Amino acid sequence: MVPEDLKYTKEHEWVKVEGTKATIGITDHAQSELGDITFIELPEIGSEINVSDSIATVESVKAASDIYAPLAGKVTEVNEALESSPEVVNQSPYDEGWILKVEVSGDSGKENLMDQAAYETYIKENK
């Protein structure tokens, strides 16, 4: 189940771009590889991010996975509900389990994003 209306990165993040705003989360594939998520370290609202910066960390019992900024911009919102209920990312990775929202500046990073079909192929090849 890879939604059609999102873009994807090789690090298994999804991005929903709406004008200059982007919402970022991790894919269903990523959450299932990690297993039960126990903690998410969220970025600070207002922080400036550049493409490839480590902006958040998703932890399970035996792994910690960094989330890298797919686009540059400024963090406008974080999903604070995840602080007390990180399992929401397991349950609803594309919807309630979104991680942060960004006010995008510039186009850098966009060239690396995959569409649904490309991401599905990418997952299969890297299994």
Partner 1 sequence: MGMIFEVSKQGKRGVTLPGKDVPVSSEVPKGYLRSKEAGLPSVSEPEAVRHFTSLSNKNFNVDSNFYPLGSCTMKYNPKITEKVANFERFSSLHPLAPQLIKGGRLAQGSLEVLYETEKALCEITGMDEFTTQPMAGAHGELTGIMMIAAYHSHKKNKKKYVIIPDSGHGTNPASAAIAGYEVKSIRSNDEGIMDMDEFKKHLSQEVAAVMLTCPNTLGVFNPHIKEISDLAHEHDALMYYDGANLNAILGKARPGDLGFDVVHLNLHKTFATPHGGGGPGSGPVGVKKDLIPFLPVSRVEKRQDGTFSLNYDEPLSVGYVSPFYGNFSVILKAYVYIYLLGKEGLIDASESAVLNANYLKSELKDSYDIPFDKNCLHEFVISALKQSKKGVRALDISKALIDEGIHPPTIYFPLIVKEAMMVEPTETESKATLDWFIGIMKSIARLAEKDPEHFKSLPQKAPVRRPDEVKAAKEMDVAYL
Partner 2 sequence: MTYIPLSEKDRKDMLEAIGIKSGKMDDLFKCIPSELRAKSFNIEPGRSELETEKYFRDLSKKNITDLVCFLGGGFYDHYIPAAVDAIVSRPEFYTAYTPYQPEASQGTLQAIYEYQSCICRLTGMDASNASLYDGGTALYEAAMMALRVTGRNKIIMDGGVSPIYRKMLYSYTKNLSIEFVETPPAHGQSDRDEIAKYLDDKTAAIILQNPNFFGAIDDHTDIAEKCHAAGALVIESVYPISLGVLKTPREMNVDIATGEGQSLGIPLSFGGPYLGFMAVKKELIRKMPGRIVGATEDLDGRRSYVLTLQTREQHIRREKATSNICSNEALCALRALVYMCLVGREGFKEIASLCMDKAEYAKQKLEGIKGVEVKRSAPTFNEFIIRLPKDPNVVIGKMIERGITPGFPLGRYYDDLKDYMLIAVTEKRTKREIDVFAAVLEEVLWG
Residues that bind partner 2 (CB under 8 A): 39, 41, 59-64
Q: Which does 25 bind (CB under 5 to 8 A by kind): partner 1, partner 2, none?
A: none
Q: Tell me the helix, strand and coil percentages in the chain, rounded to 5.
A: 20, 35, 45
- Single out the residue of 10, 20, 39, 64 in contact with partner 1 (rule: CB under 8 A): 39
- Single out the residue of 61, 64, 81, 117 in contact with partner 1 (rule: CB under 8 A): 61
Q: Which does 81 bind (CB under 5 to 8 A by kind): partner 1, partner 2, none?
A: none
How many residues of this chain bind partner 1 (CB under 8 A)? 8
Residue 61: count other Cβ atoms within 10 Å of its Cβ: 10
Tell me whether residue 36 or residue 66 sits nearer to partner 1 (CB atom). 36
Strands 7-8 and 37-41, how do they pair? unpaired
Residue 62 interacts with partner 1 (CB under 8 A): yes or no? yes
Residue 33 interacts with partner 1 (CB under 8 A): yes or no? no
Give Cα separations from 63 to 31, 33, 42, 50, 108 (angstroms). 11, 10, 17, 24, 29
Tell me whether residue 44 or residue 111 sits nearer to partner 2 (CB atom). 44
Q: For residue 45, what are the contacts with CB-CB under 8 A and spacing of at least 6?
A: 75, 76, 77, 78
Residues that bind partner 1 (CB under 8 A): 36, 38-39, 59-62, 86
